[in-house]
Amino acid sequence: MLNRTAENVARATPEPLARKVRGISDKGLAWLFISPTILLLLAINIFPLFWAIYLSFTNYRANRPNEVVKNLGFANYQRILGDKDIWIAMQTTAHFVFWTILLQTLIGFTLAWLIDRKFRGHAFWTTLILVPMMLSPAVVGNFWRFLYEPQIGLFAYAISFVTRIPPTDIQMLSNVSLAPWSIIIVDTWMWTPYVMLICLAGLRSIPEYIYEAAEVDRASNWRQFWSITLPMALPFIMLAVLFRGIENFKMFDMVNLLTGGGPGSTTEVASITLKRQAFESWRTGYSSAFAIILFVAVFGLANIYVKALNKVKQR
């Protein structure tokens, strides 16, 4: 059936084109197939990166395209790296990244470990747990805004039911000390399933005979967990931490939808500051320099993790 289809395609190919393709080597043909992807990557990823590097040394403003562009050298970088507001935004970002990764890894691994027990209905629970991850961040942001509403929100009601604090006093999004935690909760709710999925893949890859050997040696469950499960699932956990770490450094949509960086600037993460500089103050050159600083930070972090991952794999 497949051969007949291939024959039909070969017969239907116009003779001049068929002659041309026949003259190309295997390597040439491979290049021919991957060249559209490479061209697309160059146009969408590589060119904007180099363009942003160029803009970061200028005073270019996107809302004034006809203005003469001056070369400022490293002035944009010096200004950003001496700016106290941006320093605070970096600390806010670090706070988010630390807590979201810690919570997602702990809860995600625990869920994966429980799901791996293969109890009755585990497939159903796996699907149910994965639902938040499949939702759009815009939907999740709006959905949680309603949940956090002090008057009608289910979250405020549930907290007040447990703590006996009136729901109107639970102002998750407008309270200075609660607003950062409101975003951490939503991000953890949404992305824990993703960490769970990666950890589950790690746990399922552990061969059963290792546990059987441990059983023969009369190793306790606790001992099996620390000596077999955790070390063998560690590369997967680290992979999940790497992916979530990189994503959370760029966290924008959730913060923008839930608090918009407020109240005041308590939840103003680096990406929100970047957006404000780029599209509210229209300081394109300055924001390009800021974006390059963040890029180098994430790139450096990725290098460390890849090295650590290779080390763990070699063990």
Partner 1 sequence: MTRAAISRKSSWPRWARRGSMENIATALIAIGFLMLFQPFALSLYTYSFITMLAGTVMFIIVSKFPE
97 class by beta-carbon count within 10 Å (0-12 exposed, 13-18 middle, 19+ buried) = buried
Q: Two tokens at 204?
A: 């399922």
Render the burial of 267-293: b for 16+ CB within 10 Å, e for the rest: bbbbbbbbebbbeeeebbbbbbbbbbb
Give yes or no for residue 159 binding partner 1 (CB under 8 A). no
Minimum Å distance from CB 152 to partner 1? 37
Phi, psi at 58, each rounded to 5°: -125, 175
Is residue 81 at the binding interface for partner 1, with CB under 8 A as the rule?
A: yes
| Distance (Å, whole) CA 95 – CA 192 | 18
Candidates 31, 51, 87, 146: give the one binding partner 1 (CB under 8 A).
87
Q: Is the dihedral of CA 242, 247, 251, 254 positive or negative?
A: negative
Please tell me the total number of residues recorded for the chain in this structure: 315
DSSP 8-state assignment for residue 183: H
When the beta carbons of 75 and 90 are compared against partner 1, the nearer one is 90
Select the span of 141-149, 191-199, 207-215, 292-300 touching partner 1 (CB under 8 A): 292-300
Is there binding between residue 174 and partner 1 (CB under 8 A)?
no
- Binding pattern to partner 1, positions 89-108, x when CB under 8 A? -xx-xx--------------
CB 98, min distance to partner 1, A: 9
Give me the least distance between CB of 76 and partner 1, in Å please.
Answer: 12
Among residues 48, 127, 38, 30, the alpha carbon closest in space to that of 288 is found at 48
C-beta of 96 vs 194, nearer to partner 1: 96
Residue 312 lies near partner 1 (rule: CB under 8 A): no
What number of helices (H) and strands (E) belong to the chain? 16, 0
**Count of residues engaged in binding partner 1, rule: CB under 8 A:** 18
CB of 94 to partner 1, least distance (A): 4
Which 39-78 residues touch partner 1, going by CB under 8 A?
77
* Residue 103 identity (one-letter amino acid): L
315 binds partner 1 (CB under 8 A): no
Among 214, 301, 309, 312, binds partner 1 (CB under 8 A): 301
Identity of the amino acid at 199: C
Q: Minimum distance between the CB of residue 297 and partner 1, rounded to whole angstroms?
A: 6
Contact positions vs partner 1 (CB under 8 A): 77, 81-82, 84, 87, 90-91, 93-94, 293, 296-297, 299-301, 303-304, 307
